[in-house]
C-alpha cells in the first residue's frame, strides 16, 4: 500500500519537480458569440474541472490585424473575410491553459470544427449548431499553441506558478 510519501517527501508536494510534459500549454479563446451568449463561465468551468491550470486570461476586442495573423494559414479560404468579420465583431476571452496533453485534450473537449459533427459532451457539441458560429478556438498543435500564445499575450501576462514562494493551500 502506498503511504502517499516518497523518499523526497509527499508525492503531491508543490515542491516536487514538475515534469516538462505537465507544462504543455494551449491557447483557448471564447469567440464573440460565446461571450455574447453568456458561456464564459461554463467553458472555464470545464477546463478547471478537467484539471488544467489557468495561466493567463484577458478579455480583448481583437483588431483585424491580430486576427489575420492568428488565422494566417486560412487566408486563401473563401470564408476568410467572413471569419475575420465574425471574430472582430465583439470581445473574446483569450486564455492559456496548462497541463499534460493540454493541446490534444483541449481539442477533444472542444469537439469538431463543425458543431454538426461534434459529439454531445463536447463544448461545440453541447452549445452550437453551425461552423461559422462555433463559439470557441483551441490550438491544434503544440507548435501553433506557442505561436498563438506569443501573438495574444506578453510574457509578463503569463503567471508563473513555480518555483513558488508559497505552497498551495490544498
Smallest separation (angstroms) from Mg ion to the CB of 73: 8
Q: Does 37 carry a binding-site annotation?
A: no
Task: Give yes or no for residue 36 binding ligand IDP (CB under 6 A).
Answer: no
Task: Give yes or no for residue 151 binding ligand IDP (CB under 6 A).
Answer: no
Q: Does 153 carry a binding-site annotation?
A: no
Q: Residue 79: which of Mg ion, ligand IDP, none does it interact with, CB under 5 to 8 A by kind?
A: ligand IDP
Task: Give yes or no for residue 137 binding ligand IDP (CB under 6 A).
Answer: yes
What 3-state class would DSSP assign to 30? strand
Residue 32 CA from chain centroid, whole number: 15
For the residues of 144-157, what is the DSSP string, one character each?
Answer: HHHHHHHHH--GGG
Cβ neighbour number for residue 58 with a 10 Å cutoff: 13
Interaction pattern, residues 72-101, with ligand IDP; x per rule: CB under 6 A = --x----x---x------------------
Among 134, 145, 148, 152, binds ligand IDP (CB under 6 A): 134
Q: How far apart are CA 92 and CA 136, in angstroms?
A: 9
Task: Give yes or no for residue 70 binding ligand IDP (CB under 6 A).
Answer: no
Among 66, 131, 151, 158, binds ligand IDP (CB under 6 A): 131
Using the contact rule CB under 6 A, the part of the chain among 46-54, 61-69, 94-102, 132-140 near ligand IDP is 132-140
Q: How far apart are CA 15 and CA 17, in angstroms?
A: 6
Q: Does 124 carry a binding-site annotation?
A: yes
What 3-state class would DSSP assign to 74? helix
Is 166 catalytic? The answer is no
What 3-state class would DSSP assign to 37? coil
Looking at the Cβ atoms of 14 and 71, the one nearer to ligand IDP is 71
Nine cell digits for residue 52: 488544467
- Tell me the chain's radius of gyration from C-alpha atoms: 18
As annotated, the active-site residues are 137
Amino acid at each position: 500500500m502506498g503511504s502517499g510519501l516518497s523518499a523526497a517527501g509527499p508525492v503531491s508536494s508543490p515542491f516536487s519537480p514538475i515534469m516538462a510534459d505537465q507544462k504543455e500549454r494551449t491557447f483557448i479563446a471564447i469567440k464573440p458569440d460565446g461571450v455574447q451568449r453568456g458561456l464564459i463561465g461554463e467553458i472555464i468551468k470545464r477546463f478547471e474541472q478537467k484539471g488544467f491550470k489557468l495561466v493567463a486570461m484577458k478579455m480583448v476586442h481583437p483588431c483585424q490585424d491580430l486576427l489575420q495573423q492568428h488565422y494566417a494559414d486560412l487566408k486563401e479560404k473563401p470564408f476568410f473575410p467572413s471569419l475575420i468579420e465574425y471574430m472582430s465583431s465583439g470581445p473574446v476571452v483569450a486564455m492559456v491553459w496548462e497541463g499534460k496533453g493540454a493541446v490534444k485534450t483541449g481539442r477533444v473537449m472542444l469537439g469538431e470544427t463543425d458543431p454538426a459533427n461534434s459529439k454531445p459532451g463536447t463544448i461545440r457539441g453541447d452549445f452550437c449548431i453551425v461552423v461559422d458560429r462555433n463559439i470557441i478556438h483551441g490550438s491544434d498543435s503544440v507548435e501553433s499553441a506557442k505561436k498563438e500564445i506569443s501573438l495574444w499575450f506578453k510574457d509578463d501576462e503569463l503567471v508563473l506558478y513555480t518555483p513558488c514562494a508559497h505552497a498551495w493551500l490544498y
